[in-house]
Amino acid sequence: MSAIQDLIKNLADEHGRERPNLLPILQGVVEQEKFLSEYSMSEIARELDIPASDVYGTATFYSFLEHHNMGTYIIRVCKTITCSMKGKNQILLTIQDMLKIGLGETTPDGKFSLLQTNCLGWCHKAPAMLINDDVFTDLTPESVREILTKYIKK
Amino acid sequence: MVAPSYQLKRADFIFKNDNDWEKILDRTLQRSPQELINELMSSELKGRGGAGFPTGLKWKLTLEEPGNEKYVICNADEGEPGTFKDREILTKVPYKVLTAMATCGHVIGSKKGYIYLRGEYKFLVPELKKAINEFEYYCKQKGLDFTIQIFLGSGAYICGEETALFDSMEGKRGEPRNKPPYPTSVGYLKKPTVVNNVETLAHTYTIFKYGANKFYDLGVQYSRGSKLFSVSGDTPKPGIYELELGMSLQEFVNEFGDGDTKAVQVGGASGFLVPRKRFESTSIGYRGKLSGISLPTGGSMMLFNSSRSMYNVLDNYLEFFREESCGQCTPCRVGCQQLHNGIKAVKRGEKPAQYLEKLLKLTETMKLTAKCGLGQSVANSFSSIVENFQEEMIY
């Protein structure tokens, strides 16, 4: 069995093999692999004995379930109104300048991907971003540089 | 002179933590479901997520459904732009929410509760799980058969709509269902289900602790009690504030504005934009007006000062809706795209100014024909911005 098959089997053992268990399984694969490949999706379909199209349909509905290859650290910068008003663009430019990637791109070493996302719920501390599950708020170009430097060293 | 009910009054119930949840839970479990429902009904508590359905009635309807498999769901898919109060409740006073869920379980006859937590708040999970474990342990000791599980979302605004939330929990695309049937009879796994917003549950704790009168005495007619407000935008003091319902928007701006407030977005991107000239005549609360206009809100209050372009604000909202529309019904899917493309075309001069009238008609169509609240409420912000700031849309 491949590593992904193993992972999917373990997740199915943990959560169950019914349709309501699909989302936690998809989330489990994304947590490990950072994205859902066609192979993972068809393996999930096999494990749960449901059509692969259902898995694909569900997976592609949710913006946090990526189905393209992603870096180890996924940066999601909030682009909704308050963050946008409070300097989101400068934050994006700083990140792009540091990592030399554009929106939707991944660094060549596969470490970082840069995305925008809708309201993260930190409007009172805008601008905000997520790096994987960790939240960073009250961002300035300076603080973003500090944060990224720490991640680059990881 | 401001009418007394229009004044801004601070309240402090939600975040006041006396660490007495065990006592409150013991006390509510000894009371009959009917008694608890009566208490909620006489408090006139309405849903704090934004829709404003009477909470007591929701519990009552679910209780009256036959069958012994029912569910309690706490809606923590806080996705409306400008709202961030639910996260604070779950961080600071999770036991109030858990106690309220167990009480609801006791009332409707449910053994299973879920917290649908948005994926953006995944970092809350470890602490929340700890609280749930301790809570469940206490329930077990007391012989109460009620468990609570966290279900994580994955970045979809529409899953905050209760029926989309069910589909999401059932492992499907989060697409809203037709209503009726309502969740109180056909909900999660087609069973009767109570879905309450995090804040609504926290308020029931206040009501069961202090009694319905204490809650009813706050606020104004039709809009009883206090409410958490998420204040953001051009304000010197962004943050979360508990205020009594019924204040005038002018009072709110006096307190939170930066002296140059041009407009306030009440209720997030799906709510209404109120321009300066209407601050005096607008109050914050549920429908059933005292006088003037009363606007409901899930708590989102975004202030804009005169340095902001209302075109940019609307452009941002429409991009949001265009991306977050689930896509199953045409009026919403195509409507959001056309509105977004339309205002851009007018701004660029590719379409005449009169084209805005056509777009306004389109929002009316969406209001009538879209399947759920998302598509229906795009008209709110669109028409209130376009009608009040038409020049900014064109030039």
Q: What is the pLDDT of residues B196-228, one digit of tens each?
A: 999 999 999 999 999 999 999 999 888 999 999
Residues 6+ apart with CB under 8 A from B34: none
- At residue B324 the predicted structure's pLDDT band, cuts being 50, 70 and 90, is very high
- Residue numbers in A near B84 (CB within 8 A): 121-124
Percentage of chain A with pLDDT > 70?
100
Residues B128 and B327: their CA atoms lie apart, in Å, by 33
Closest CA to A135 of B385, B120, B225: B120
Domain B219-305 has CATH 3.30.420.40: no
User: What phi and psi, each to the nearest 5 degrees, are found at residue A145?
Assistant: -60, -45
**Cα atoms in the 13 Å half-sphere on the side-chain side of B248:** 20
Q: Residue B388: is its pLDDT beyond 70?
A: yes
- Section A61-85 average pLDDT: 97
Helix axes A38-48, A22-33, angle to 10 degrees: 150
B283 forms beta bridges with B248, B294
Are the C-beta atoms of residues B113 and B105 closer than 8 Å to each other? Answer: yes
The fourth-level CATH superfamily of domain A73-153 is Glutaredoxin (3.40.30.10)
User: What phi and psi, each to the nearest 5 degrees, are found at residue A96?
Assistant: -60, -40
Check CB contact of B167 with chain A, cutoff 8 Å: no
Secondary structure element (H or E) that encloses residue B226, with its range: strand B226-233
Q: Residue A106's CB: how many other CB atoms inside 10 A?
A: 21
Q: Closest CB to B320: pick one of A24, A57, A118.
A: A118
Helix axes B55-64, B198-210, angle to 10 degrees: 90
Which tokens hold the place of B19? 């660490």
Q: Express the helix, strand and coil content of chain B in percent, nearest 5 each.
A: 50, 15, 35
Q: What residues does CATH 3.40.30.10 cover in chain A? A: 73-153
Q: Residue B144: is its pLDDT beyond 60?
A: yes
Check CB contact of A13 with chain B, cutoff 8 Å: no
Residues 46-85 of B with CB under 8 A from A: 78-84
Rounded to a whole number, what is the distance in Å from the CA of B282 to chain A's nearest CA?
23
Mutation choice for A interface testing from B125, B154, B323 by most A CBs within 10 A: B154
Q: Residue B6: is its pLDDT beyond 90?
A: no
Residues B191 and B199: their CA atoms lie apart, in Å, by 24
Q: Residue A45's CB: how many other CB atoms inside 10 A?
A: 18
Closest CA to B2 of B291, B300, B302, B296: B291
**CATH number of this structure's domain B7-216:** 3.40.50.11540
Percentage of chain B with pLDDT > 70?
97
pLDDT value at position B5?
62
Q: Which overall architecture, per CATH, does domain B310-394 show?
A: Up-down Bundle (1.20)
> Searching chain A, which residue's CA lies closest to the CA of residue B78?
A121
Are the C-beta atoms of residues A7 and A26 closer than 8 Å to each other? Answer: no
pLDDT value at position B297?
81
- Section B120-127 average pLDDT: 97
Q: Residue A4: is its pLDDT beyond 50?
A: yes
Q: Is the dihedral of CA B296, B299, B300, B306 positive or negative?
A: positive
Q: Residue B4: is its pLDDT beyond 60?
A: no
Q: Where are any strands of DSSP class E within B110-225?
A: 112-117, 147-152, 193-197, 219-220, 223-224
> Across all residues in chain B, what is the average pLDDT?
95
Residue B288, CA distances (Å) to A62, B55, B224 in order:
37, 17, 12
**Residues recorded for chain A:** 154
pLDDT value at position B290?
46
Residues B145 and B211: their CA atoms lie apart, in Å, by 26
pLDDT value at position A87?
96
Domain ranges of chain B: 7-216, 219-305, 310-394
Q: Closest CB to B313: pick one of A63, A81, A125.
A: A81
**Residues recorded for chain B:** 395
Residues 6+ apart with CB under 8 A from B231: A124, B237, B238, B239, B240, B241, B256, B301, B303
More confident residue, B17 or B192: B192
Please tell me if the domain spanning B219-305 has the same topology as the one spanning B310-394: no
Determine whether A72 is exposed, middle or buried from the number of CB atoms within 10 Å of its CB (0-12, 13-18, 19+): middle
Residues B118 and B112: their CA atoms lie apart, in Å, by 19
Flag if B240 and A124 touch (Cβ within 8 Å): yes
